[in-house]
Amino acid sequence: MTKGGTGRDLTWRRALYALLIFVGAALGFTLLGMILGPSQAQVGGVRAEDSIAPHLAALAGFGVVLGLGGMLIYGKRGLPLVFLTPALTVSLDIDHLPVYLGYSEPIRPAHSIVFIAFVLILLAVTIRAPEIELVVASSFLGHMAVDTGLFAPWSPINFDYVQLDQYRLLLGIGALLCALAAGVVLRLEQPSPTSAARLSSNPVVPSRSIDEADS
């Protein structure tokens, strides 16, 4: 990966790091929800068995659409977007894991503004790639746009539940805009053919020190 006039590709390793950070944070917020959530908020339930596969397919499908949106702007070197976005979009539902294991938990403890703000700050400090942050934001918003029902927007600080359905269209638009913005950022970081040719035809020659010149 190169910077400073030579462009920067979204590599598979960077995409994997982002996914691991996202999943780890989702599990952490789930645990916080179980610890900090009041007893009346511990009402998370399981989805009907016959609806799990269609829901996951809808999440993954919308994630692929978002990834393709970024790739259409950046080009084939943005291929990791097509895989990273649906992986992130689906993996947010890992916060349902405790209830499937038989434990009480709040409804969607990682489906919150606090969660995505924390993850974006963590990515900005660690990976330091705005395109990754945009892809993560797109995936999170895309997941929320597919979901229905209740969520706690300020979990794990506050567990007052809000109906999600009325915000789905806005969330979907936001997801698409973030995906397209990720492609734009990657394209802007890609060197133009003119600058690339200039760099290749005029290699930088290390300058000699004064002592070397006098010797």
Give the tokens for residue 35. Answer: 């610890």
Model pTM? 0.84
Q: pLDDT digits over 140-196, tens only?
A: 999 999 999 999 999 999 999 999 999 999 999 999 999 999 989 888 876 655 544
Give the tokens for residue 116. Answer: 């995505």
Task: Provide the mean pLDDT of the chain.
Answer: 87
207: enclosing H helix or E strand: none
Give the tokens for residue 20. Answer: 């691991």
Residue 150: strand pairing partners: 163
Helices 12-36, 130-146: crossing angle, 10 deg rounding: 50
Q: Contact 29/115 with Cβ under 8 angstroms?
A: yes
Report DSSP state, residue 165.
G
